[in-house]
């Protein structure tokens, strides 16, 4: 769901899903108080925590991962050594398909196979690869001026704060779900190919 979607969009979707008898929902991971809202409706939730989409973010412009592919310039966050977990669009799609393709419940007490019930009201963690504060302040200043290209800079830079990076490696469940290991070179090629797709769209910021 887009960050600029109306604030009540997620709530409306959840309420309609509850009315339709949908037993569980995979909520928009960037919304506020999603768990409480879903619980009030008597539903269960499964959330996918995947970090930023690698290929999409690479193509999104310098304000995201710092890659200015047009001018062949790279901006590093601090010393460039802060680890951050990301996932490709394809890997996230595979994870969602694997989770929702599981059987709902174990066959009996001795059945140790993965089931949807084992993920209910829990997050599924994925990873792909393993002064930011000044850049964060620059993004904040842009947004305050009405320049929303600073929003991406804010969002991405915060994940690279050295004292609190968005590194999900220790929680990753890729192997548990049987997800394949991806090739970083191939993922990078996919990201570069996305540059043309995103040109002229708000997803690709110029600054």
The residue with tokens 């192997």 is: 175
| 76 closest CA partner among 27, 149, 131 | 131
Q: Is the pTM of this model over 0.75?
A: no
- Strand, coil or helix: 122: strand
Q: Which residues of the chain have pLDDT under 50?
A: 30-32, 129-130, 206-207
Whole-number pLDDT of residue 24: 84
Q: How many helices (H) and strands (E) does the chain have?
A: 7, 7
| 116 closest CA partner among 98, 134, 139, 94 | 98
The Cα 64–Cα 84 span in angstroms is 13
Is-contact 167 84, C-beta < 8 A? yes
DSSP letter assigned to residue 68: E
**What is the Rg, in whole angstroms, of the alpha carbon atoms belonging to the chain?**
19
User: What residues form DSSP beta bridges with 45?
Assistant: 25
Secondary-structure percent of the chain, ordered helix, strand, coil, rounded to 5: 40, 10, 50
| 61 closest CA partner among 183, 159, 149 | 149
Whole-number pLDDT of residue 200: 65
Is-contact 113 153, C-beta < 8 A? no
């Amino acid at each position: 769901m887009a960050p600029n979607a109306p604030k009540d969009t997620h709530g409306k979707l959840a309420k309609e899903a509850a009315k339709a008898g949908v037993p569980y929902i995979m909520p928009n991971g960037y919304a506020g108080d999603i768990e409480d809202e879903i619980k009030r409706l008597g539903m269960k939730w499964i959330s996918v925590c995947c970090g930023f989409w690698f290929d999409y973010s690479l193509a999104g412009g310098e304000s995201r991962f710092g890659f200015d592919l047009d001018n062949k310039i790279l901006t590093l966050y601090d010393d460039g050594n802060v680890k951050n977990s990301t996932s490709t669009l394809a890997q996230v799609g595979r994870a969602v398909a694997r989770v929702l393709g599981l059987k709902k419940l174990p066959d009996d007490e001795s059945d140790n196979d993965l089931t949807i019930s084992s993920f209910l009201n829990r997050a599924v963690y994925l990873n792909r690869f393993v002064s930011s504060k000044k850049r964060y302040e620059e993004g904040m200043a842009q947004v305050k001026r009405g320049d929303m290209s600073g929003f991406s800079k804010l969002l991405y830079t915060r994940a690279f704060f050295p004292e609190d990076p968005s590194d999900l490696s220790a929680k990753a469940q890729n192997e548990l779900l049987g997800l394949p290991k991806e090739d970083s070179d191939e993922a990078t090629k996919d990201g570069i190919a996305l540059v043309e797709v995103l040109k002229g769209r708000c997803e690709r910021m110029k600054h």
